[in-house]
Amino acid sequence: MAFSISHLGYRKLSRVIFEWQAADRALLLALFVLMEITLHWIWCLYVWFRRETYSSYVDMALLYPLWIGITLLGLFFLWMISRSSPIKTGHGSLHTWQAVLITLYSTYIAVVILVMGHSSLVAGVSLVGGAMLGMMLIRRRYVWKAFLAHSMLIFSATLIPYFGFTIPNMQQMTATSFPLDSYNYLTYSETTAIENAISASIFQNGTLSWDTFNQLRFSSAFFWRSTHIYMSLPKAIFIIYMFRTLLLILDNSKAEIMQYANHDELTQLKSRRYGLTQMQQALLAMGDQQDVSIILLDLDWFKNINDNYGHDVGDQVLSEVAQTLLNSLTEEAIVSRYGGEEFLIVLPDTSHDSVMTIAKQLRRDIAEQVISGDNHTDFNVTASLGVYTLTHAERIHIQSEYRATELEENIQSPNNSKKDSSSVKGLQKSSPIQNSSQRRIAHRRKRVATEIAKAQLPIDICQRLICIADKALYEAKDRGRNQVVSANEILAAENSTVISFYTASK
Ligand SMILES: Nc1nc2c(ncn2[C@@H]2O[C@H](COP(=O)(O)OP(=O)(O)OP(=O)(O)O)[C@@H](O)[C@H]2O)c(=O)[nH]1
């Protein structure tokens, strides 16, 4: 793989998300749930241990059933995890396993949310974070259902008190000193309001003494807020870490896909399609006074290399020549593998004299390059190069010809305006579009066609220029190979122009 990924944990998580079997991912979720249950169990143990202090703001009558429930659920999840091997080997029903997992977990977390505060941090993290984590690891349909059930539950928990029912709540507000002097049973919002009142009183007095700090520290609001942080923070960190990694995976996958789509695997040069796209962009970006040059380079007697040394050595030649091209050219050059042993080089803002110097140097570099075949057989390859420079004067000429043709066609057939884009539409009709990727490609083609039309260049301008360079390449082969031939010189000798040449070659 062309990319080195050094982020800690990236490899492991990308394996989990992309390569692991569905059973392994479900197991990871089960382990995560078990970890969460363990945290809650430890909390119960801690509260029970310090029940003398905390019994005033934790409803102990609810703690014990909750603790028992958590213990039973923890044991059940342990059993489920131990039963996961038949599922991994494909003997058990993974879907049933996933459905039981999500139903139990949702019920459990719903109870925890209700008794700990349905508008608390725990509720928010569980609702959104839990759903996102679940979607990454198990069947999304189940997670959707659980998410909707949770949302409904929170909505009902908000409404129920207005109908005179009390939802069990472990939170007891017991600030026996200021601002309250009696035991109260309060909702989370009320608790928060009181906590704010305490803070305000401290700042009103102006001093933060140890007494006031203790008052805060031993207030139930502080206890419950710490509880919420304890219960939601590890989960939130885990989920954020998973998502950060997921985004990294997506970024890297996108870069990998782009690399595969736009580059030739053997030579690592740009692919033919990407080379042509970049050539079009280079033509569109040409300044008023700039010339653009192209070189079509073809290795000589390449078939003989394959025949004499084998296909692998042929491949090696191609990648070594590609490397030579990259080493000899500047970064502005667009170098692509145009065909089997044919390379297309586009040099934006390069005059004819310069491109001839560059092409001759490339020919020399390739001819001097020693290729080591198998059995220590060293040999050389040569290349023939066809060069063509589209000068800015010629480009202006093409543009005015194009404008004139367009105008003429519009006069003859007014309905046929926007010829280029309508021809693309025609293409879409003749080959029905089946999927979104085809639609995207068609859309992109249409956009490029519109851009080129705006620049007033014929839509097949790249093919025209390559066709001219190809003529020079053939001439180089005819003249005995291992040489550079300029298409501009051929055209000048024939006293023809790029337009007339293209018209003749169509
Ligand atoms: N090893 C290897 N060979 C390839 C690859 N692509 C095309 N070829 C071979 O390149 C050879 C091209 O042969 P020809 O088109 O006859 O050209 P040539 O032998 O180079 O002769 P001239 O171009 O006329 O000098 C064919 O034998 C193809 O099989 C490739 O990716 N790897």
Give me the CATH number covering residue 481: 3.30.70.270
Residue 50: is it exposed, middle or buried by C-beta count within 10 angstroms (0-12/13-18/19+)?
Answer: exposed
Q: Which atom of ligand 1 is nearest to the CA of 312?
A: 1
Ligand 1 neighbourhood includes 306 CB (under 6 angstroms): yes
User: By the 8 A CB rule, do 97 and 26 touch?
Assistant: yes
Strands 378-380 and 383-390: unpaired
CA of 377 to the centre of ligand 1 (A): 20
CA of 413 to the centre of ligand 1 (A): 46
Ligand 1 neighbourhood includes 478 CB (under 6 angstroms): no
Q: Considering only CA atoms, which residue is closest to atom 11 of ligand 1?
A: 303
Q: Considering only CA atoms, which residue is closest to atom 26 of ligand 1?
A: 303
Ligand 1 neighbourhood includes 36 CB (under 6 angstroms): no
d(CA 348, CA 293) in angstroms, rounded, equals 6
CA of 317 to the centre of ligand 1 (A): 11
Residues 311 and 242 both lie in one domain: no
- Three-state SS sequence of 13-29: HHHHHHHCCHHHHHHHH
Share of the chain above pLDDT 70, in %: 76
Out of 298, 303, 371, mutate this one to test ligand 1's pocket (max ligand atoms within 8 Å of CB): namely 303
Q: Considering only CA atoms, which residue is closest to atom 7 of ligand 1?
A: 340
CA of 352 to the centre of ligand 1 (A): 29
Q: Is the peptide bond before 234 cis (omega within 30 degrees of 0)?
A: no
Task: Give the structural domain span for 114.
Answer: 10-254
**Token pair of 264, please?**
């030739």
CA of 308 to the centre of ligand 1 (A): 12
Q: Which atom of ligand 1 is nearest to the CA of 311?
A: 1
Residues 305 and 433 both lie in one domain: yes
Residue 166 lies in a domain: yes
Ligand 1 neighbourhood includes 315 CB (under 6 angstroms): yes
d(CA 81, CA 163) in angstroms, rounded, equals 41
Residue 145 lies in a domain: yes
Q: Which atom of ligand 1 is nearest to the CA of 304?
A: 19
Residues 99 and 214 both lie in one domain: yes
Residues 60 and 192 both lie in one domain: yes
Q: How would DSSP label each residue in 35-67?
A: HHHHHHHHHHHHHHHTHHHHTTTB-HHHHHHHH
CA of 294 to the centre of ligand 1 (A): 22
Residues 314 and 406 both lie in one domain: yes
Q: Considering only CA atoms, which residue is closest to atom 27 of ligand 1?
A: 303
Residues 164 and 293 both lie in one domain: no
φ/ψ (deg, to 5) at 263: -125, 150
Residue numbers of the chain with a pLDDT score lower than 50: 1-8, 174-185, 416-431, 504-506
Residues 97 and 61 both lie in one domain: yes
Side-chain-side CA neighbours of 60 within 13 Å: the count stands at 12
Residue 261 lies in a domain: no
Residue 265: is it exposed, middle or buried by C-beta count within 10 angstroms (0-12/13-18/19+)?
Answer: exposed
Side-chain-side CA neighbours of 497 within 13 Å: the count stands at 10
Q: What integer pLDDT is reported at residue 180 of this predicted model?
A: 46
Residues 215 and 287 both lie in one domain: no
Q: Domain ends where: 203, 223, 254?
A: 254
CA of 192 to the centre of ligand 1 (A): 78
CA of 281 to the centre of ligand 1 (A): 30
CA of 303 to the centre of ligand 1 (A): 5
Residues 321 and 250 both lie in one domain: no
Out of 318, 341, 470, 485, mutate this one to test ligand 1's pocket (max ligand atoms within 8 Å of CB): namely 341
Q: What integer pLDDT is reported at residue 191 of this predicted model?
A: 61
Number of domains in the chain: 2
Ligand 1 neighbourhood includes 382 CB (under 6 angstroms): no
Residue 260 lies in a domain: no
**Token pair of 354, please?**
């310069």
d(CA 210, CA 219) in angstroms, rounded, equals 14
Q: What integer pLDDT is reported at residue 481 of this predicted model?
A: 95
Ligand 1 neighbourhood includes 340 CB (under 6 angstroms): yes
Ligand 1 neighbourhood includes 474 CB (under 6 angstroms): no
Secondary structure class of 292 (helix, strand, coil): strand
Residues 38 and 147 both lie in one domain: yes
Residue 191 lies in a domain: yes
Q: Which atom of ligand 1 is nearest to the CA of 307?
A: 27
Q: What integer pLDDT is reported at residue 430 of this predicted model?
A: 44
Residues 249 and 277 both lie in one domain: no
Chain segment 450-489, per-residue pLDDT in tens: 666 666 677 788 999 999 999 999 999 999 999 999 999 9
User: By the 8 A CB rule, do 371 and 380 touch?
Assistant: yes
CA of 200 to the centre of ligand 1 (A): 84
Residues 277 and 248 both lie in one domain: no
Q: Considering only CA atoms, which residue is closest to atom 12 of ligand 1?
A: 303
Residue 458 lies in a domain: yes
Q: Considering only CA atoms, which residue is closest to atom 15 of ligand 1?
A: 303
Out of 268, 301, 302, mutate this one to test ligand 1's pocket (max ligand atoms within 8 Å of CB): namely 302
Residue 173 lies in a domain: yes
Residue 264 lies in a domain: no
End-to-end CA distance of the chain: 42
